[in-house]
Amino acid sequence: MESDKVQARVKEWTITLDTYRVSSGSTTPLYRMRAPYVNKDGFRFTIYRKGIFSELGKRLGMQDIEVGDPDFDRDYVVQGNDEAKVLSLLANPKIRQLIQTQPSFNLKVKDDEAGSVRPSRRC
């Protein structure tokens, strides 16, 4: 895997923007923004555009939280370990609009390899 990155310090945050290619036959670059932080309550979520297998996943029991915006619910899969917090986050129409302007989108809060938590965005 090859990678290029830029890091910026903003107050107590270190934000990393990088591009990388995974050597799995694809030569499409992936863009990612990461900002590690301490996640005191363990809140996790994932938001991504639906793909060809999303409907099959739903039929097999995959979680997809509906946020009440028909266009957003049609185009995105939303998963999380606290539905009320996910709904609160996506209740803001500006956040949904910013997500919808991206041609390809994947936002998640997850544990990384070192055990810290970081949001990541993949374009």
Same-domain status, 17 and 46: no
CB count within 10 Å of CB 1 equals 7
pLDDT, averaged per 10 consecutive residues of the chain (123 residues), comes to 78 86 69 82 90 74 87 93 94 94 85 44 42
CB count within 10 Å of CB 95 equals 13
Query: Whole-prediction pTM value?
Result: 0.71
pLDDT at 114: 39
pLDDT at 36: 82
Q: Which domain holds residue 51?
A: 41-122
Core vs surface per residue 52-83: b (16+ CB within 10 A) or e? eebeeeeeeeeeebebebeebbeebbbbbeee
Same-domain status, 71 and 114: yes
Same-domain status, 65 and 99: yes
For the chain, how many structural domains are there in total? 2
Same-domain status, 17 and 52: no
CA distance readout (Å), 75 to 9, 17, 93:
34, 26, 15
